Structure 1
Amino acid sequence: MAKQLYLIAQFELNDADNFAPIFREHAKASRAKPGCLFFYLIRDRENPAKFATMECWEEYRYFEDHVNDDEHNAFHTKISKVWKREPDVMEADLLCGME
């Protein structure tokens, strides 16, 4: 059985208020993709220019499909124009959950 992929990506955006609806649409589209177990979009309370995604994919191959499809490529083109720097991304394995 393949391992699930947990991913956390942190973004700091210029024009964050205007971009937030586009980010939400990407989160919704991502949740509908095969292999996506969850995809959360959160926003920092103290600095609303900071966002993070927390996502889980059944297998790495589903994540690869996600980042290589037309929806993600269009989103990436839009977001890369407004981020202050490349996002910080962590690929992770779950050690414990909400037992």
Structure 2
Amino acid sequence: MSEQLYLMAHFELNTPDEFAPTFAEHAKASRAKPGCLFFYLIRDRDNSAKFATMECWEDYSYFEQHVADDEHTTFHAKIKQVWKGEPNVMECDLVMGME
């Protein structure tokens, strides 16, 4: 059995209000992809330029398909132009869920 992949990524954007709809579209598209168990997009209440994604994939192969497809490639090219810096990405292990 393959191990699920949990990821958290923190982004700070130069034009957050302009880019937020594009980011939301990417989150919706990601949730519809095979192997995506969840994909959350959250925004900092105190600093609207800061976003984070929390996502889970059935296994690493589904995540690799996600980042290799045309939708993600197009999104990545757009978001890279508005990053304040490289995002902080963390692969995670689930310690406790919503029991």
Flag structure 2 segments of 5+ consecutive residues without an equivalent.
Answer: none
Q: Which residue of 2 aligns with 1:66?
A: 66
2:90 equivalent in structure 1: 90
Residue aligning to 1:46:
46
Q: Structure 2-normalised TM-score?
A: 0.98
Percent identity for Structure 1 against Structure 2: 75
Amino acid at match of 1:36: C
Equivalent residue letter for 1:40 = Y
Which residue matches 2:78?
78
> Which amino acid in structure 2 is aligned with residue 56 of structure 1?
C
Measured in 1, the distance between the counterparts of 2:57 and 2:23 equals 19
Aligned: 1:2 with 2:2: yes
CA distance in 1, matches of 2:23, 2:42: 10
**How many residue pairs end up in the alignment?**
99
Q: Where does the alignment leave 5 or more consecutive residues of structure 1 unmatched?
A: none
- After superposing on structure 2, the runs of 4+ consecutive aligned residues of structure 1 that deviate more than 3 Å are none
Give the alignment's TM-score, normalised by structure 1: 0.98
Shift of 1:93: 1.4
Output the CA distance in 2 between the equivalents of 1:5 and 1:29. 18
